[in-house]
Amino acid sequence: MIELLAGLFGLLIGSFLNVCIYRWTRDLSVVKPRSACPGCNRMIAWYDNIPILSYVLLRGRCRNCGVSISWTYPAVELLTAVFFAYFVAIEGLNLSAAKDCLFAAIMIGLIFSDLDTRLLPDEFTIGGFFAGLALAFFVPLPPTLFALAMDMTGHHMGLRATSAGEALTGALIPAGAMWLLGWIFEKLRDKEYLGFGDVKMIAMMGAFLGLSGVIVTLLFGSLLGSIGGYAWLKLTRKDPATYYLPFATFLGAGALIVVAAHGGITAWYEQLLR
């Protein structure tokens, strides 16, 4: 029963995410005005704004002008609902599940923002970074580099402080490394390799997942990007020299896989390093 309620709550959050995705990428307020059809500019009635159900009943078209409604709207709602129900089912109703649900919602928001506009709103990346740091005090991250450095220097910190340090380490080291790699590539090839929005996204993921989690995510995201990107370029016959692949989309998908594995993939990777 609690999983069903979590899924229903996820539908509502997904509906709000759709507003955020559309408006934040266009520098618009998510508070006002009310949602309107982009085709006829008429306000959308509440009964036409019920997650997934309204899309099905309207057959994917505006009631007033008949313009097509993007498939991404129900996709965002459904994905958010599924992840919310899943995390509550495997973790229970606690802070750990709430943290994973929030992370999944941010990832879904970034994935579809990237697909739609190739933009990654600061509200998701920077806001998510600070949320990840704050939650590290209450949902401890596994000890890795930061804990090792503290032990080597003789500093013994509490669990919460160590977890916050792990979150900050996981955010700054991979993001800094990726920024440097992108800067070098741009200087050598005179072409942007990685946007700064991607760097902020990596920092946000590190704050939530810690160093080991974000490294595994980068591996998965790069693998998905290589396979999926190559397939997409072949299918669409795009020129790889000029076409900008939505890297954040693949990175976000990798992050969702890692979190959905509930630490299993991260633990496997840590075993390899020992």
The string of pLDDT tens digits covering residues 186-221 is 767 666 666 778 899 999 999 999 998 898 888 888
- Average pLDDT, whole number, for the chain? 85
Give the span between the Cα atoms of 88 and 96, in whole angstroms.
Answer: 9
* pLDDT of res. 42: 83
Most confident of the following: 3-17, 134-148, 228-242: 3-17
Positive or negative CA dihedral for 133, 134, 135, 138? Answer: positive
Q: Which residue has the higher pLDDT, 147 or 113?
A: 113
Domain layout of the chain by residue ranges: 1-93, 104-274
Q: Is the pLDDT assigned to residue 59 strictly greater than 80?
A: yes
Instruction: Summarize the confidence of residues 10-38 as an average pLDDT.
Output: 90
Q: Is the pLDDT assigned to residue 179 strictly greater than 60?
A: yes
The values of phi and psi at residue 68, to 5°, are -70, 140
Q: Is the pLDDT assigned to residue 239 strictly greater than 70?
A: no
Give the span between the Cα atoms of 35 and 10, in whole angstroms.
Answer: 19
* pLDDT of res. 7: 94
Q: Is the pLDDT assigned to residue 252 strictly greater than 70?
A: yes
* pLDDT of res. 274: 54
Most confident of the following: 19-23, 175-179, 231-235, 246-250: 19-23
250 and 224 Cβ atoms separated by less than 8 Å: yes
Q: Is the pLDDT assigned to residue 85 strictly greater than 70?
A: yes
